């Protein structure tokens, strides 16, 4: 069972990810943006560190690329999956940038629960 933080400003997407991971036996918590996600990351009990963070890229307050960089500084070995459907105004492919900044894998929205679990398993096992 992995401890997973899901950071996504889309309430429906976050709820689906939370449900998918919980049903697979993982402990999952959510955050609405990078600021809230970093607060949850910093406030985890020392004896219960996160195993994985799944973060969206385009969010208000603190976007995913800044969140990935901050996570890398605070926890270099933390597993990270970046997800994105592109920007609100245009279809921007920033997932390669997320990988360059330290995301272990990326996943393009929309995706299925099966696709999510395949990527989660690969990252946790790798």
pLDDT tens profile 74-101: 999 999 999 998 755 456 678 999 999 9
> Position of tokens 């889309």?
10
What is the domain-level CATH number for residue 93?
Answer: 3.40.50.2300
pLDDT of amino acid 120? 98
Share of the chain above pLDDT 70, in %: 95
The overall average pLDDT reported for the chain is 93
Q: Which secondary-structure segment (H or E) carries 21?
A: helix 11-23
For 2-15, the three-class secondary structure string (H helix, E strand, C coil) is CEEEEECCCHHHHH
pLDDT of amino acid 93? 78
Residue range of the domain that includes 14? 3-125
- Which residues have a Cβ under 8 Å from the Cβ of 87 and sit 6 or more positions away? 58
pLDDT of amino acid 113? 95
| 26 Rama class: left (phi>0) / alpha (psi -120 to 50) / beta | beta
Please, are residues 50 and 71 in contact by the beta-carbon 8 Å criterion?
no
d(CA 94, CA 25): 30
The verdict on whether omega for the bond into residue 110 sits within 30 degrees of 0, i.e. cis, is yes
> Structural domain tally of the chain?
1
């Amino acid at each position: 069972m992995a401890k997973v933080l899901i950071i996504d400003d889309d309430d429906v997407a976050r709820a689906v990810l939370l449900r998918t991971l919980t049903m697979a036996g993982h402990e999952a918590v959510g955050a609405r943006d990078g600021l809230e996600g970093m607060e949850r990351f910093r406030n985890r009990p020392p004896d219960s560190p996160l195993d994985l963070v799944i973060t969206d890229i385009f969010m208000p307050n603190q976007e995913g690329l800044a969140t990935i960089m901050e996570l890398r500084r605070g926890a270099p070995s933390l597993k990270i999956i970046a997800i994105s459907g592109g920007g609100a105004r245009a279809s921007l492919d920033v997932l390669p940038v997320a990988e360059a900044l330290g995301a272990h894998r990326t996943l393009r929205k929309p995706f299925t629960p099966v696709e999510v679990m395949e990527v989660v398993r690969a990252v946790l096992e790798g």
